[in-house]
Chain A
Amino acid sequence: EAGVVQSPRYKIIEKKQPVAFWCNPISGHNTLYWYLQNLGQGPELLIRYENEEAVDDSQLPKDRFSAERLKGVDSTLKIQPAELGDSAVYLCASSLGTGRGPDTQYFGPGTRLTVL
């Protein structure tokens, strides 16, 4: 079974440029998460989707960040315009989302963003 797929793995951009990250969750997983991981720290949730609906986006900086999950499968996270402080690793995760049991989250390899 394929795991969570993310692309690109690395992205280097100039500040004020736009950037987009793509995530394909594990087949059949209804819940999708985007996490931000700064260097030397644990990940922090940016947004959580249940199917197509964003049910927790309280930590998403909405002035420059946006996300979508069309048809409840793939998801795209966008930053426009990027700032120097956005340099980090962006992790995507998915889970069955049944609301029962541990509902383990499985992570993709992440995208390392460098803003110059």
Chain B
Amino acid sequence: AQTVTQSQPEMSVQEAETVTLSCTYDTSESDYYLFWYKQPPSRQMILVIRQEAYKQQNATENRFSVNFQKAAKSFSLKISDSQLGDAAMYFCAYRSAQGAQKLVFGQGTRLTINP
């Protein structure tokens, strides 16, 4: 079974600075998808960014980018120019490419933005 590990329970960053959240995963599959979701206090999971395992190019969405290292099974999220609205729980998630499968989530990282 696949597992996802987020080793940083909490992180903090100064507003306008850059922060990197770590995620590692374990799988024997070669084709899969990886996601970062944000969960603010309102509880609604919001997709931040996604990465297809077959793509070597790292995904980027505005201030959010990933460092995908397939061989190392690492998928970190970099947030540039941090804003107060970025404060939330961030979850890394894995999904197999075989049909509509469940998301396997990590334990989450709570990100605090210091003004």
Contact = CB atoms under 8 A, between A and B. Distances in A.
Nearest to A46: B102
Given A41-B108, A43-B105, A102-B33, A48 B100 contact: yes
Categorize the interface residue count of chain B: 20 to 34
Interface of A: 31, 33, 35, 40-45, 48, 50, 55-56, 89, 91, 93, 95, 97-99, 102-110, 112
A8 to B, nearest CB: 13
A56 B42 CA distance: 28
B107 A104 contact: no
A110 B43 contact: yes
B107 A42 contact: yes
Contact of B105 (A31, A42, A95, A103): A42
B44 A110 contact: yes
Given A40-B108, A107-B45, A99 B103 contact: no
Contacts of B91: 42-43
B44 A95 contact: no
A33 B47 contact: no
B43 A45 contact: no
